[in-house]
Structure 1
Amino acid sequence: MAMLPVYILAGICLSYIILLLSLLYGWRNLKNNPRFVSPFETGFSIIIPFRNEQLHLPGLFDSLKNLKYPKNKFEILLINDSSEDDSEKLVQEFRKMHADLSIELLQNQRESISAKKDAIKVGIDKSRFEYIVTTDADCKVPENWLQGFDNYIESQDSDLIAAPVIFVEVHPEDPLFRKFDLIDFMSLQATTIGSFGLRKPFICNAANLCFKKKAFQVVGGYKQSGNYAGGDDVFLLQKFKEHKRKIDFVRSNNMIVTTSAQKDLRSFIQQRLRWAAKSAGYDDSFARFAALTVFLMNAALIIGLVLCLFDASYLQWLMIAFLIKFNLDFMLIYKAAVFFDRKASMRSYALSSIAYPLFSSGISLTSLFVGFKWKGRGYRK
């Protein structure tokens, strides 16, 4: 048996151990926030782009109308991105039914390849409050959402605040890909929280994000990331980091935004291709280390399996590597499952952990050569 592949595998495993232990330490280091008690000082402009979201908008509206925050302290800006269904009609009805809320319907003005970034910019240009809050049309926000951001702004004077997002709970009768999707998403949320706890944040989610409008303008907004269809959240986080702005994460059960899972396997794959495509734009050293380490670990397991077909003596090393990854991943994802009250989803963890190396490596490699579809539009690589 040639030992070089074993040495390479050992080096990759060591990097993976360092990464996961670091994220676990970061998770522990970022404390839970208590219940919020704030004076309702901050004004917020809630910006929500939408395109063909007639199925999800009613749920979003139900959550928005229940926000426990002074109505004169926030506005809701809904930006229509050329919807072809009844989404705009639903927005107009929502405005009529809730005249006590400040609700504006705007039309997107395309300036770049990224329709979503353009839509958010339209909202920012129209906004009248100091802080911008973004979420997605397929989300539901908690009633103390704005109060939580207000509390953090008043106590920490943050320029950008990220907060947790989770998919709706899966059910036993749901297809396997949806169970895999939830576990994978929890791993991303755990990574997000862990990186913030390390003070090396490199990922966040625009479905639950707040930032100071003036700071957004000072750092240049989305100017340098307009050639990526997605990444309005990640690239903005990078910009704030580059300019030494104050960045925080609110780890609180009272701040969890719930979003819808992908409706079918094809949509799920397209979403992951979109997410993988923006990783090429990462310029943060820790982000690159994390992305490369995860890719190499997954690829090494697949290559190791192939080597076992030719030399069975590699099997013991492959199993050691797999068990290292299996247990470290479990420790991190289980923390997220407890935090998000999704412990039942861990029943699918074992099967997901077997499928993940092939899926993750396949998505990463595919994203280098092909484009993806998003909201009915095709994007080239």
Structure 2
Amino acid sequence: MIGSFVFGFWKQPTIKQQQHINPVVDFSVIIPFRNEATYLPTLLNSITQLQYPKTKVSFWFIDDDSEDNSSEIIQQFSEQHPSITITILKNKRVSSSPKKDAIRTAIKEIKSHWIITTDADCLFPPNWLQLFNQEIFLKRPRMIAAPVTYTNITSFFTYFQLLDFLSLQGATIGSYGLRTPFMCNGANLAYQKEAFLEVQGFAGNDTIASGDDIFLFEKFIKKWPNRVHYLKSKDAIIHTFPVSSFQELVAQRVRWASKSAKYNLVRGKFVGVIVMLMNVVFCLLPILLFLTTISWKLIVFVVLSKFIIDGILLYQTFQFTEQKFRLHYFIVSTIIYPFFTVFIFFNSLFKSYTWKNREFTM
């Protein structure tokens, strides 16, 4: 399966900016935030670097009960840059999902046809909106998924997160190349407002705290299977930050894993089951070697096959995102990762998780 994603990644065309295409699309960028004073100055600075007409983009910041000075930082920035259209709204909570409520709060006020969702701890590349504009102008999609990667990689702990995160990105791109997409990332996702309303937005899954991206994506795929596109362009990659502690990492990954049981797409569930079973097998290999008569040659074959195929997909993804592929970190992570994944899986079955200083149950 991972080998097929390697092929799909290669098959998915890389998009380059065409200078002759004029900016014609009006965008509304939705950025929910809660206690993001640390990251907001970096995000706001990246807004000033965007190479897109300021009259054709507006930024909607949705305050989800922040307890720090996040709103003041945005307000001060807005006053200093009056040519940038910025609106700050208070989140109107109506469901169990703060982020979905934040997006709905903004959509009720937005007039433009195209929405982009992202996060408050992200950095925008200068030609980001121009690439979305080009994709819309040339292909008339309903939804566009785009790449995300981590920045500020300074240790093995952060590199381990990068490997894990880019494995998802690589599989995502590969699945689009195979025309069987099963995933997207809400930190870099665009869709038509009319289409969002037509599929009734988050109705039917707003009891799940996360999943503002994947469950909406599943609705779009079901209704318009050929009009959900992937923007594979280096100039459209959004950068975000890894977490700083193991406790935060576990909470984040448990949150991601907890929504997988609610997936509707069969292919998404299939990929999840195959990956989990492979990781379980890897964890059991020492027991099989010493307590059964299974051939050590078979075990070596399984380990090397996984190492090589995973390595090819990750190397492709690292090249695309312009990250440095560190072989020694990859080798160590290959040994650790299956045990970490199984640990997260069992935690997602029995534990609640913390997100933005709030506790959520499954």
TM-score range normalised by the length of the shorter chain? over 0.9
Aligned to 2:356: 375
| Superposition deviation, residue 309 in structure 1 | 3.0
| Superposition deviation, residue 307 in structure 1 | 2.4
- Of 208, 221, 234, which aligns to 1:228? 208
Percent identity over the alignment is: 37
| Superposition deviation, residue 344 in structure 1 | 3.7
- Of 320, 323, 346, which aligns to 1:339? 320
- Of 84, 93, 102, which aligns to 1:110? 93
TM-score when normalising by structure 1: 0.92
Aligned to 1:51: 34
- Whether the 8 Å CA contact 1:169–1:342 is kept in 2: the answer is no
1:21 aligned to 2:3? yes
| Superposition deviation, residue 324 in structure 1 | 1.1
- Of 187, 190, 208, which aligns to 1:207? 187
Aligned to 1:324: 305
| Superposition deviation, residue 304 in structure 1 | 2.5
> Distance in 2 between the 1:306 and 1:372 partners?
31
Deviations for 1:204-236, whole angstroms, at most 9, x for unmatched residues?
A: 111111100000000111111112111111111
Aligned to 2:347: 366
| Superposition deviation, residue 313 in structure 1 | 4.4
> Distance in 2 between the 1:61 and 1:35 partners?
24
SS of the residue corresponding to residue 286 of structure 2 reads helix
> Distance in 2 between the 1:73 and 1:356 partners?
44
Aligned to 2:12: 30
Range with bigger deviation, 66-75 or 247-256: 66-75
SS of the residue corresponding to residue 350 of structure 2 reads coil
Aligned to 2:338: 357
Aligned to 1:3: none
> Distance in 2 between the 1:160 and 1:118 partners?
20
In structure 1, list runs of 5 or more residues that go unmatched. 1-18
Deviations for 1:285-304, whole angstroms, at most 9, x for unmatched residues?
A: 11111100000000011123
- Whether the 8 Å CA contact 1:159–1:211 is kept in 2: the answer is yes
Give matches, 1:46-125, under 5 Å.
Answer: 46-125=29-108
- Of 25, 31, 36, which aligns to 1:42? 25
SS of the residue corresponding to residue 280 of structure 1 reads helix
- Whether the 8 Å CA contact 1:50–1:136 is kept in 2: the answer is yes
| Superposition deviation, residue 311 in structure 1 | 3.2
SS of the residue corresponding to residue 93 of structure 2 reads coil
Range with bigger deviation, 320-329 or 42-51: 320-329
> Distance in 2 between the 1:268 and 1:181 partners?
8
Give matches, 1:162-311, under 5 Å.
Answer: 162-171=145-154, 174=155, 176-244=156-224, 246-311=227-292
- Whether the 8 Å CA contact 2:122–2:238 is kept in 1: the answer is yes
What is the root-mean-square deviation of aligned Cα atoms in Å? Answer: 1.2
SS of the residue corresponding to residue 92 of structure 1 reads helix
TM-score when normalising by structure 2: 0.97
> Distance in 2 between the 1:319 and 1:232 partners?
41
> Distance in 2 between the 1:340 and 1:295 partners?
26
> Distance in 2 between the 1:237 and 1:199 partners?
14
From the two aligned structures, give the one with the greater helix fraction.
Answer: 1
Deviations for 1:123-156, whole angstroms, at most 9, x for unmatched residues?
A: 1111121100111000000111111100000000
Aligned to 1:133: 116
SS of the residue corresponding to residue 30 of structure 2 reads strand
